[in-house]
Structures are given as structure tokens and as C-alpha cells.
Amino acid sequence: MPYIIQNLFILVSPALFAASIYMTLGRIMRSVKGEHHSVIRIGWVTKAFVIGDILSFMVQGGSAGLMFNANTVKIGEGVVVGGLFIQAVSFGLFFLTAIIFNMRMNKYPTRASVNLESPWKRTLYMLYIVSVLILARSIFRIIEYLEGQGGYPLKHEWTLYAFDSLLMFVVTVVFYLQYPSKLPAPPADDNESVDITLQGQHVQRQKSAY
């Protein structure tokens, strides 16, 4: 029982990291007034992914009762794998959403996004890094539970430190170094996209006229 309890806490805790990451993307979009560049309605960006995260958390947490019984251990392991798959799929869709938003912002930047004091790009890159790390950790745990008690990961403790503990520690450090509190509040002016190239040409024409 002590092993199952401590393993459960290690297993489900990254879901709390994921919730913070999902909320940060929505904050980035609002800070640069780039809501219209999101493939998901801005009001649902955080909600959709957090709902998936909560579902993954509940599925993995619900496996604890099954693992207490020797007759249902295999079922419990299958439930854990299902929860980890939900988390991996959710992160994959989140990563795709963030990349599409980044590409659209690069092509059609907003007025707020050209503010040199806004660290929105660095914060977005931070999300890429931590997302990849958590996704790698989830894939490792999926492999671990698919191989079962006789698999290499469970028989060699170093794999847990290398592909779980270390990865989550790096996630914590990276998130700390680029904490999203530095993002400015959404500006009050219009949120229409601005083509920087055309804007620059317009300024040049004005200068030529003078």
C-alpha cells in the first residue's frame, strides 16, 4: 500500500503542471490581443485543455483502488495507461494550437505584439520546452505500465529518476526562469492585425512626401 500511494502521487502530479501551462497560453493570447489567431475560441482555450487534464487526473487517480486488489492490478495498470494517453493527446493538441498561433502571429502580428517590452515570444518558447518535457515523461510512463512489473523500467530505478524526476525538475526550473507574471495586461486599443511590412512602407511614403 505505501508503494501504491507514493507512486500515485508521483504519477498524477504533472497534471497540475499541465493546468498551469494551459492557462499560460490563454494569457499570452490576451496579452498581445491575438485571440483571433487561435484555432480554438479564446474562451475555450484554457477550459478545453484543463478539462482534458482533469479527466486524465481523475482516470489515473481512480486506478488506485484497483491497484490495492491483487485481482485487479492489471485492470488498474490499464486504467493508468488510458489516463496517460489522454494526457499525451491533450498535450499534442495543445502543442499544435500553440504552434499555429505562433505562425499566425508571425505572419499577421498585432499592434500589441510589436511591443519590445513584452516577453510573449520567450514565454511561448518556454511553453514549448516544458510541454515537450512533460510529453516525454508521459510517453515514458506509458511504456513503463505497458511493459508491466516484469519490464525494464520497473526493474531499474534509474529510469524513473532520468525520465520522470529529472524532467519534472527541469520543467519547474524553466517555468520559474520565464514566469508568465512578466506578461503585460491586454492593451486597451484596437486588436486588429497589422502587417508590419505594409506599415513600414506607409511610413516611408509619408517621409518621402515631406
pLDDT digits over 177-203, tens only?
998 887 776 555 444 444 444 344 444
DSSP letter assigned to residue 72: G
CB count within 10 Å of CB 122 equals 12
Query: Chain-wide mean pLDDT for the chain?
Result: 81
Is 153 in contact with 142 (CB distance < 8 Å)? Answer: no
Q: What is the CA radius of gyration of the chain?
A: 21
Contact present, 21 and 45 (Cβ < 8 Å): no
The predicted-structure confidence for 54-92, as pLDDT tens digits, reads as follows 888 888 877 766 766 667 777 887 888 888 888 888 888
What pTM value is reported for the model?
A: 0.78
Give the residue-averaged pLDDT of 118-123.
86
Which one has a higher pLDDT value, 70 or 108?
Answer: 108
On the question of pLDDT at 167 being above 90, the answer is: yes
Is the pLDDT confidence value at 176 over 70?
A: yes
Mean pLDDT score, 93-112: 90
Which pLDDT score, from 0 to 100, does residue 188 have? 52
Cell digits of residue 136: 516525454
In whole angstroms, give the CA distance from residue 155 to residue 35: 48
For the chain, how many structural domains are there in total? 1
User: In sequence order, what are the residues at sequence separation of 6 or more whose Cβ sits closer than 8 angstroms to the Cβ of residue 16?
Assistant: none
User: Which residue segment(s) compose the domain that 9 sits in?
Assistant: 2-209
How far is residue 26 from each of residues 151, 168, 191, measured CA to CA in Å? 39, 22, 15
DSSP secondary structure code for residue 183 in this structure: S
